[in-house]
Amino acid sequence: MTDRFVHEQGASRVVFGVGALDGAGDEVARLGARRVLLISDRHSAAHAEAVAGRLGGRVRGRITRTATHVPGESADAASREAAAHGADLLLCVGGGSATGLAKAVALRTGLRIVAVPTTYAGSEMTPIWGLTRDGRKETGRDPAVRPVTVIYDPALTTRLPGRLSAASGMNALAHLVEAAYAPRLSPLTAAVADQGIRVLAKALPRVVTDPEDMAARSDALQGAWLAGWVLGTTAMGLHHKLCHVLGGSYGLPHAATHSALLPYVTAFNRRAPRLGRVAEALGAADAATGLWELRTSIGAPASLAQPGFGTADIDRVAGLVAAEPPAGPRPVEPAGVRAILRAALDGARPVTTGDGDAP
Ligand code: NAD
């Protein structure tokens, strides 16, 4: 059999390293921007001010609150703010929610984004936007929302608490694992995905053991970069679809949802041939079990159970996901989705044998 693939890759300038934030002013200057709208989340305010200090008066407006899954009203308000200041650049500092808000503004205005990520979500490397209105999360792809410059400074991540780091790391791993069954996967993306998994599997245990270990933080952030890159060059499958439905309709926290689901969606798709490579990169005999063991060892969230979501909601979510089934190695029907959700509520070691619906 010969390979068939499509490889499409947008361009971002990536500046990586401890202290990379010091170059933020130069990065903005080389883009010729003069009126910057600075978007940051609550925990990144100090970093955002450090960036502002390096921009020599170019910051004209500030948004200091973000919300996960980008509520439509936040995007409306931020777009008005960009227009009011005549912004010619969006600079976001923070987790995926800050990046997501900048993308929602870029989608309407065409403004370029410089992103300074502080979690492992990976959004900064993708052309994917998300917006939630009326309890429904919509996502799409548009090259205009991909940040033109990404500044990765591991020093910004040492305050990310261990449990949040672990959850965010599982979010990054999900991008890499889901590539294993993405249609028309290119050999370049496959190789990057394998490397990303290897890097994160080694770095995350070190990060949670010592959140201030700069070498571990640097490795984890590199893994997140590779994960975002992979997500940006492949399609999303069942795992991401489930996360978007649960986030948009039930407001579940994004990274924790990835963490709770990943071993079980992987077990459901266990026939995908490339999952063998995932297992190898994890140093495990089986991909789903390897992910479950890594998740357990780093103390990442292990159950979907949250206020507002429980067993009674399983049927509705299964119906929503199966109504628009994503492409993948296995047909997505309500029974299979129900089994994944039940397992993810329970959090037990995934079942990796048999052909039935049980993941
Ligand atoms: P988040 O941005 O909501 O951050 C989670 C929490 O961590 C927040 O309270 C934030 O203030 C805090 N935080 C962030 N950085 C910190 C730091 N360094 N130290 C201490 N606290 C810190 O969560 P997230 O998981 O990074 O991002 C989730 C969002 O990103 C979701 O809306 C998701 O849909 C989106 N996302 C989009 C893509 C894409 O390609 N479009 C990819 C991944 C995630």
Residue 357 has pLDDT above 80, yes or no: no
Q: Whose CA is nearest to atom 42 of ligand 1?
A: 123
Listed residue (282, 293, 236, 291) closest to 261, CA to CA:
291
What is the 96 CA–ligand 1 centroid distance (Å)? Answer: 4
Listed residue (103, 211, 123) closest to 172, CA to CA:
123
pLDDT band at 152 (very low <50, low <70, confident <90, very high): very high
Q: What is the pLDDT of residue 3?
A: 83
pLDDT band at 307 (very low <50, low <70, confident <90, very high): confident
Atom of ligand 1 nearest to the CA of 47: 18
Q: What is the pLDDT of residue 356?
A: 58
For 221-277, how does the pLDDT look when each residue is reduced to its tens digit (9 = 90+)? 999 999 999 999 998 999 999 999 998 889 899 999 999 999 999 999 999 989 999
- List the structure tokens of 210: 């010592």
Atom of ligand 1 nearest to the CA of 232: 40
Atom of ligand 1 nearest to the CA of 157: 18
Lowest mean pLDDT among 56-60, 167-171, 225-229: 56-60
Listed residue (159, 75, 153, 166) closest to 114, CA to CA:
153
Residue bearing the bigger pLDDT, 299 or 3: 299
pLDDT band at 358 (very low <50, low <70, confident <90, very high): low
Q: Which residues line ligand 1 (CB under 6 A)?
A: 41-44, 68-69, 94-98, 100, 118-119, 121-123, 126, 128, 130, 156-157, 159-160, 164, 168, 171, 231, 254-255
Strand ranges, E, within 156-261:
none
Q: Write down the mean pLDDT value for the chain.
A: 95
For 83-112, how does the pLDDT look when each residue is reduced to its tens digit (9 = 90+)? 999 999 999 999 999 999 999 999 999 999
Q: Catalogue all structural domains in the chain, each as residue range(s) with its CATH number.
A: 13-156 (3.40.50.1970), 162-346 (1.20.1090.10)
Mutate to test the pocket of ligand 1, among 119, 159, 250 (most ligand atoms within 8 A of CB): 119
Q: What is the mean pLDDT of residues 66-94?
A: 96
Atom of ligand 1 nearest to the CA of 255: 25
Q: Burial level of 197, CB count in 10 A (0-12/13-18/19+)?
A: buried
pLDDT band at 35 (very low <50, low <70, confident <90, very high): very high
What is the 56 CA–ligand 1 centroid distance (Å)? Answer: 27
Residue 352 has pLDDT above 90, yes or no: no
- List the structure tokens of 355: 């052909």
Q: What is the pLDDT of residue 1?
A: 59
Mutate to test the pocket of ligand 1, among 42, 118, 139, 243 (most ligand atoms within 8 A of CB): 118
Residue 308 has pLDDT above 90, yes or no: no
Q: What is the pLDDT of residue 174?
A: 98
**Cα dist from 307 to 9, 182, 259, 303, 304, whole Å:** 39, 32, 17, 12, 10
Q: What SS3 state is found at 185?
A: coil
What is the 34 CA–ligand 1 centroid distance (Å)? Answer: 27
Q: Whose CA is nearest to atom 14 of ligand 1?
A: 95
Residue 347 contacts by C-beta under 8 Å, 6 or more apart in sequence?
260, 302, 303
Q: What is the pLDDT of residue 298?
A: 98
Mutate to test the pocket of ligand 1, among 63, 97, 150, 176 (most ligand atoms within 8 A of CB): 97
The amino acid present at 296, given as its one-letter code, is: T
> Phi and psi for 127 in degrees, rounded to 5?
-95, 20
pTM over 0.85: yes
Q: Burial level of 195, CB count in 10 A (0-12/13-18/19+)?
A: middle
Mutate to test the pocket of ligand 1, among 40, 43, 261 (most ligand atoms within 8 A of CB): 43
